[in-house]
């Protein structure tokens, strides 16, 4: 069945995806990126299926808030019990998402200890049950997986072959093992191997390469060298919020500061509680870079407590 992933692969080679990043790519940040230089696809932060089917629902459901501007938007979910994947898939479909992605790559110790995230690389039968339950809960919806190439050693051939045999619609490969975290350069050769496997096993599955891509130019090179259909960018957006721009331009410090104000305003409007404001501070560095006075401005921004203080300070620099 032709779905939006296939259409994207026809329009843009490679298509570009904003990576799911817990604590970073929340509703507000996605809204800013979608309104600035929009990637072809956006992912939510990973959202726990066990929480969504329990008392934790009220504290968790905000992670699945999105706007029309963020489409196509994929809900990334993680958990353990396939039954909860079924229920969550139904919910995600009802909410109107464009697709569901299952996290099988998180290297966080607590997540892996539960048997979730990258731990699933060691329990493929359970991984297949999760995929099947998700498909059953959201019939007709594109289902994808984001994973790594192993837990402690690279098992690309067997693990990716297994995933491709589940005939998922898209597969994102972060080219590192869980043990490697982000400490070594991504093994793009391994990502290239998965493209070849895909061609044999499941030609309809779109392959998205992920790891260390910082620019449109590098994304293009990855597509040419390794044949990936799409490229996912995570930390690259911290260095350049315009990283998804199809015709890259030079953006001035003033433009960057205007964007900081827009982000802070939307953050404060969305999360009005003063207790939430400190969580905004981790984003400041994205916008305050390489202009005279940047270090001093960052230092002062770290002392702010609300939007009006940020505005007053930043306007002096603009």
Q: Which stretch binds ligand FMN (CB under 6 A): 7-15, 48-56, 57-65, 101-109?
A: 101-109
Cβ contact 79:54 at 8 Å:
no
Which one, 218 or 258, has the nearer CB to ligand FMN? 218
CB-based contacts of 123, cutoff 8 Å, min separation 6: 115
Q: Which stretch binds ligand FMN (CB under 6 A): 121-129, 161-169, 233-241, 291-299?
A: 233-241
Query: Is the bond into 14 cis (omega within 30 degrees of 0)?
Result: yes
Which one, 27 or 257, has the nearer CB to ligand FMN? 27
Options 26, 31, 40, 45; binder of ligand FMN; rule CB under 6 A: 45
Cβ contact 18:237 at 8 Å:
yes
Pairwise CA distance, residues 209 & 190, whole Å: 10
Residue of minimal Cβ distance to ligand FMN: 234
CB of 317 to ligand FMN, least distance (A): 27
Among residues 143, 4, 126, the alpha carbon closest in space to that of 75 is found at 143
User: Is 106 a residue of the active site?
Assistant: yes
Taking CB under 6 A as the rule, which mask of x and - marks residues 202-221 in contact with ligand FMN?
--------xxxx--------
- The number of angstroms, rounded, from the C-alpha of 167 to the middle of its chain's C-alpha atoms is 21
| Residue 144 interacts with ligand FMN (CB under 6 A): yes or no | no
| Residue 240 interacts with ligand FMN (CB under 6 A): yes or no | no
Pairwise CA distance, residues 179 & 207, whole Å: 23
Helix (H, G, I), strand (E, B) or coil at 207: strand
| Residue 19 interacts with ligand FMN (CB under 6 A): yes or no | yes
Alpha-carbon torsion, ordered 217, 256, 15, 6, to 10 deg = -170
Taking CB under 6 A as the rule, which mask of x and - marks residues 168-207 in contact with ligand FMN?
------x---------------------------------
The set of catalytic residues is 106
Q: Which residues bind ligand FMN (CB under 6 A)?
A: 19-24, 45-46, 76, 103, 105-106, 146, 174, 210-213, 233-236
């Amino acid at each position: 069945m032709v779905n939006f992933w296939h259409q994207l692969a026809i329009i843009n080679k490679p298509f570009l995806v904003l990576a799911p990043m817990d604590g970073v790519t929340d509703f507000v940040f996605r809204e800013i990126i979608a309104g600035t230089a929009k990637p072809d696809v956006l992912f939510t932060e990973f959202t726990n299926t066990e929480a969504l089917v329990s008392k934790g629902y009220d504290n968790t459901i905000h992670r699945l808030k999105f706007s029309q501007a963020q489409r196509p938007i994929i809900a990334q979910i993680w958990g353990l019990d396939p039954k909860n994947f079924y229920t969550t898939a139904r919910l995600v479909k009802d909410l109107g998402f464009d697709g569901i992605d299952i996290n099988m790559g998180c290297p966080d110790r607590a997540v892996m200890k539960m048997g979730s995230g990258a731990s699933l690389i060691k329990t493929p039968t359970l991984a297949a049950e999760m995929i099947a339950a998700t498909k059953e809960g959201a019939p007709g919806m594109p289902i994808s997986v984001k994973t790594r190439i192993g837990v402690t050693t690279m098992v690309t051939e067997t693990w990716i072959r297994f995933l491709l045999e589940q005939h998922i619609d898209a597969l994102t490969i972060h080219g590192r093992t869980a043990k490697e975290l982000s400490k070594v350069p991504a093994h793009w050769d391994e990502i290239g191997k998965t493209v070849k496997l895909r061609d044999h096993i499941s030609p309809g599955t779109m392959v998205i390469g992920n790891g260390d891509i910082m620019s449109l130019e590098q994304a293009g090179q990855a597509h040419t060298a390794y044949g990936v259909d799409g490229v996912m960018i995570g930390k690259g957006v911290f260095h350049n919020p315009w990283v998804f721009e199809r015709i890259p331009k030079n953006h001035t410090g003033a433009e960057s500061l205007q964007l900081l104000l827009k982000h802070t305003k939307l953050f404060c409007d969305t999360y009005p509680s003063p207790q939430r404001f400190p969580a905004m501070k981790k984003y400041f560095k994205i916008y305050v870079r390489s202009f005279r006075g940047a270090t001093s401005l960052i230092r002062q921004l770290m002392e702010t407590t609300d939007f009006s203080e940020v505005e007053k300070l930043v306007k002096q620099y603009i």
